[in-house]
Structure 1
Amino acid sequence: MRFSQQFLEEIKNRLPLSNVVGRRVTWDKRKSQPGKGDFWACCPFHSEKTPSFHVDERRNRYKCFGCGESGDHFRFVCETEGLSFPEAVEQLAGEAGVAMPAPDPQAARKQEQRKSLGEVCELAADYYRKQFWGPIGDGALRYARSRGLSDATLREFQFGFAPAGRDNLKQHLLDKGIKEGQLVEAGLVIRPDDGRASYDRFRNRLMIPIHDERGRPVAFGGRTMDPKGQPKYLNSPETPIFHKGTMLFNSHRARQPAYEASQAVVVEGYMDAIAVWQAGLKGVVASLGTAFTEDQILRLWKFADEPVICFDGDAAGVSAAHRAVDRVLPVLTSGKSFQFVFLPDGQDPDDLLNEGGLPALEAELAKAQPLSEVVWERETTLARLDTPERRAALEKALEDLVDTIRDERVKKRYRMDLRVRLSNLFWENSRPQRGASGRAQSGWEPRGGKGARVQQRVDAPGTKNFGVERTLCAMAVKYPELFERHFERLGQVRFSSELHQAFMLALCTMAEDRGEASIAESFGALGEKFFQILQEVQGGAGEEGAVAKGVSKWSDLYDRAPVLQLDPPEDFVEQLFVLNMDLIELHQLESELEGEMALAETELSEAGWVRIQGLTQDLSRRKEECIREEQQLAERAQKMRARGKLSVAHG
């Protein structure tokens, strides 16, 4: 249904946006000014600890200055409650006391058709439910209980039973005045093409209703009670009110708990979903046995930013998860992705729950891999890299996958991450060709080295800013979004260590999307030192003796910046990232001033004196800024540590 702008504006004018949004957030009393229609809160669309989500009631708009989400009343309800636009309008119109406009005749007929089919499914669900709890459904009830399902769960999910006769449901509903054509259209009855009498689609099956977003039954899934019966599970066909590609089983129950917990779990079958729900993990849905579609992916992102796909641990489950990967990649966007759990071979969620209860399943969910890791492992695990052609083929396969991503920002991050990984993979794979020691036969020549060679070991701190520089190198790899955001500035930063200068230059070169140098062809030119530092900043094991006496090991970013272990908010991480650049540039200013002062001792000109004054003033200002930034970060870190200790104490 199309709505006039006047009608939509009337709803918004009658219903304060702060009331609609206020159901999902807690307003920050220090920043908000209700009298001016100005409200601030932590964003409901991404995790943050300092308010960057703003509601302007004068304009009836909201915007998050952290993740960029924005919209009005209707978009907010759609995004937070998983409703379609017409559903959101109808809900808010009811709250605002605004009468819905009369639909046009054609739309009215379609709406009446959907309503009537929904009523037919409701009557069918009621019939199946009565059979299930009656004498005829005793076998189905015993089977359901044998799966560990409680009577409360069976009633909650409205379990039913379709008797074995040819047309039991059909005759029951015909007696209630339902037309045969409606039964066929609802997918409950099959009408043969050869003119024979129609018959029930579901016979001798345990019946589970499939509900829409509002909890109304629109279709059914039936499990055969015949040990030799096929198919084992049978779903309703596509109908005007049931579309497999847009629906998720249990979504109407899972939506709110998933949103509140910031965790949505996707399993393969509805029996698994029911078992997981009963165990206590309420934000669980099932995919109805179809390949993931874009509609389902977008719907799941309304539940959580990174839903977890948890399919069975057999070959079919892994294959289904990999198909899901290919479906998800094109629609990735900033802050929205998926995680994947591959259960132990041959097990499904129900098996885990039977063996170890919810803790066993949660232990597996804790091992969830990000989408990028699944893509990498899938493409590289069985890849042969013993020839240039095979290395080039792997690189081409990964590039083709990245090219399917429509969001340019996400595409850049994936390309950067995969190019760095490929370089390291190809380097490690080529060790046997580089000699028994695994070392390069020549040193790595950094920019400006003019033939200078570096030692084979990753050197211990040799410059004043070694630790700050290595931390910045590590953060550039670990936080690609910050690397991308500050790319231009990073390219201008001058490191005191030639190792770090060359490392950052190589990263910047990889990130530039020129389409010129193939990683398969150019990785060898990076040299041993690049990969030693790369392994260190990625958390790999560094060489023994690679740090000075009394200096903490440099092989892990968290050892150099332990505050990052506290999972700080994004703005804190970026503030630390920028501070490291500031400190490196500050050191460069100090070096420039020292050079000018040394020159002034032998030859002081007016221009030289002006440069000294300018550098002195600039240096003083930058020092004050760095000290202030360091103090702010230290205070925030102290508060985070205190909160962490408090959480542990209460836990």
Structure 2
Amino acid sequence: MTGEKRGVPPEILQQIRDRIDIIDLISTYVSLSKAGQNFKGLCPFHSEKTPSFSVNPVRQMFYCFGCSVGGDAFTFLMKQEGMDFMEALRELSQRTGVPLPERREATGKTSSGLSRERYFHLYQLAASWYHRNLLEIPEAQVARDYLDQRGITRKSWNTFQLGFVPDGWNGLSKWLEQQSVKPEELIQAGLVVRKESEDGARISTYDRFRDRVMFPITDPRGQVVGFGGRILKDGASPKYLNSPETDLFFKGRSLYGMDKARQSATSSGRFYLVEGYFDVIALHQNGIENAVAPLGTALTSDHVQILRRLAPSVMLVFDGDAAGISAALRTLDL
């Protein structure tokens, strides 16, 4: 995909290519050693014991003679981090100091008005509060018992930063306001819901998630961009509730566990696609780290593109009931 097609002037792309040192970039992921005029190392995109991955510092290009993957700095980041072109562009812009055109997705502003950095900060604060609740507060005993019954180990609680939110209307918002977070920011981030009375005379706010086990949803780099919450009361609905979609969180592009799965998937050449949060964690506990799951939605073409950028093979591991078989058949159509 070219920058021109995404409205990025070609001279901006060339400035980034001229300023980036591909050796420094790739060295943060791969141990490289000098080999003549080039550098070589073990390929991060497939499993190998003899280095076949070569980087040319003059041309600022890489190529693997084992799996035939090659390209420039943009290609490497997209493949290694599971980024799309614009995400790689923003990352390399920050690394090189080349400013991007003044447009919303390039300047770091989300449609809510929050900066990307502020959005990430608020969601990480919320994740920390949920996680501490699970570990410490007495009201979370029902959640701890539930996770134990599901076979989720204490180690996984920490690895996946699982959390708990008690059955109250403003526990999170009160705590975040104590951390100098403005009430309007909580609404902008989707952590708090604003509701207006039918006559418009009264406006109330309340926390989006209540009485749920919480699953932080991260981007491929591990930054929290949303949450999934599983209700604890029997018969209550919805059973699962997700954060609202934003510029940084879109269910049709997000895959649970991607931040932990991508390295294993790129080296093995395979993803295991499962149905939900608990399936990802269960496989992870059994040493299968390259497992991901869609967020309660059918697999989309965007999901498929993201998976294919990182690994050539995807194995479906769905339940054997009617719903699981139906989901597998829908996935095969993609």
Match of 1:305 among 312, 318, 322: 312
Structure 2 gaps of 5+ residues are 1-6
Aligned to 1:11: 19
Q: What residue identity is the alignment partner of 2:133?
A: Q
| 1:206–1:224 contact (8 Å) kept in structure 2 | yes
Matches within 5 A, 1:398-547: none
Aligned match of 1:255: 262
Q: Report if aligned partners of 2:45, 2:310 keep a CA contact under 8 Å in 1.
A: no
Structure 1 residues 135, 300: CA separation in 2 closer, same or farther (over 3 Å shift)?
same
Identity value in percent: 39
Q: 1:172 aligns with which of 171, 175, 188?
A: 175
CA contact (8 A) 1:125 1:209 kept: yes
Q: Which amino acid counterpart does residue 59 of structure 1 have in structure 2?
A: R
Note if 1:278 corresponds to 2:285. Answer: yes
Q: Distance in 2 between matches of 1:118 and 1:135?
A: 29
- Of 116, 128, 132, the residue aligned with 2:118 is 116
Task: Quote the offset at 1:191 in angstroms.
Answer: 2.3
Aligned to 1:334: none
Instruction: Pick one of 20, 24, 46 that aligns with 2:26.
Output: 20
**TM-superposition CA deviations, 1:429-460 (whole Å, max 9, x none):** xxxxxxxxxxxxxxxxxxxxxxxxxxxxxxxx
Query: Over residues 201-238 of structure 1, what are the superposed CA-to-partner deviations in whole Å (9 max), with x where a residue is unaligned?
Result: 21111111111122121111111111121122222221
1:26–1:206 distance in 2 versus 1, CA, 3 Å? same
1:57/1:182 CA distance change after superposition, 3 Å: same
Whether the aligned pair in 2 keeps the contact of 1:55 and 1:62 (CA below 8 Å) is: yes
**Which residue does 1:373 correspond to in 2?**
none
1:262, 1:78 → 2: CA distance?
A: 16
CA separation of 1:80/1:180 partners in 2, compared to 1, >3 Å: closer, same or farther?
same
User: 1:310: how far off?
Assistant: 0.8
Secondary structure class of the residue paired with 2:270: coil
Deviation at 1:71, TM superposition (A): 1.7
Segments of structure 1 that go 5 or more residues without pairing to the other structure are: 28-32, 328-651
- Structure 2 counterpart of 1:326: 333
1:131 equivalent in structure 2: 133
Cα distance, 1:104 vs. partner?
A: 2.9
CA distance in 1, matches of 2:44, 2:223: 28
* Shift in Å, 1:293: 1.4
1:123-181 CA distance string (max 9 Å, x none): 22122222222112121112112222221211221121111112222333334343333
- For CA contacts below 8 A with separation 6 or more, give which structure has more relative contact order: 2
Q: TM-score, normalised by structure 1?
A: 0.44
Task: Give yes or no for contact 1:259–1:302 (8 Å, CA) kept in 2.
Answer: no
Partner residue of 1:59? 59
8 Å CA contact 2:44–2:267 kept in 1: the answer is no
Give the Å deviation of 1:45: 5.3
Q: 3-state DSSP class of the match of 1:190? A: strand
Structure-1 residue corresponding to 2:161: 158
Q: Which whole-Å deviations, capped at 9, do the CAs of 1:388-440 have from their partners, x for residues lacking one?
A: xxxxxxxxxxxxxxxxxxxxxxxxxxxxxxxxxxxxxxxxxxxxxxxxxxxxx
Matching residue's letter, 1:79 = K
Aligned to 2:102: 104
Q: Which position in structure 2 is the counterpart of 1:35?
A: 36
SS in 1 for 2:109: helix
Q: CA deviation at 1:21?
A: 7.6
Q: Which amino acid aligns with 1:8?
A: I
> Which residue of the partner structure matches residue 593 of structure 1?
none
Kept in 1, the 8 Å contact 2:192–2:205? The answer is yes
Aligned pairs for 1:242-391 within 5 A:
242-327=249-334
**Quick one: which amino acid aligns to residue 109 of structure 2?**
K
Whole-angstrom CA distance in 2 between matches of 1:160 and 1:125: 7
Change (3 A) 1:231 1:25: same
Larger radius of gyration: 1
Residue correspondences, number: 317
1:74 partner letter: F
Separation in structure 2 between the aligned mates of residue 130 and residue 50 of structure 1, nearest angstrom = 45
SS across alignment from 1:76: helix
More deviation, 97-106/47-56? 47-56
Which one has the bigger strand percentage?
2
- CA contact 1:221–1:233 (8 Å) conserved in 2: yes
- Report the 3-state secondary structure (helix = DSSP H, G, I; strand = E; otherwise coil) of the residue aligned with 1:220: strand
The whole-number CA distance in structure 1 between the counterparts of 2:217 and 2:52 is 39
- Is contact 2:30-2:42 (8 Å) kept? no
Tell me what 2:4 maps to. none
Change in 2 beyond 3 A, CA 1:42/1:123 = closer
Alpha carbons 2:63, 2:69 under 8 Å: kept? yes
Residues 160-239 of structure 1: matches in 2 within 5 Å?
160-194=163-197, 195=200, 196-239=203-246
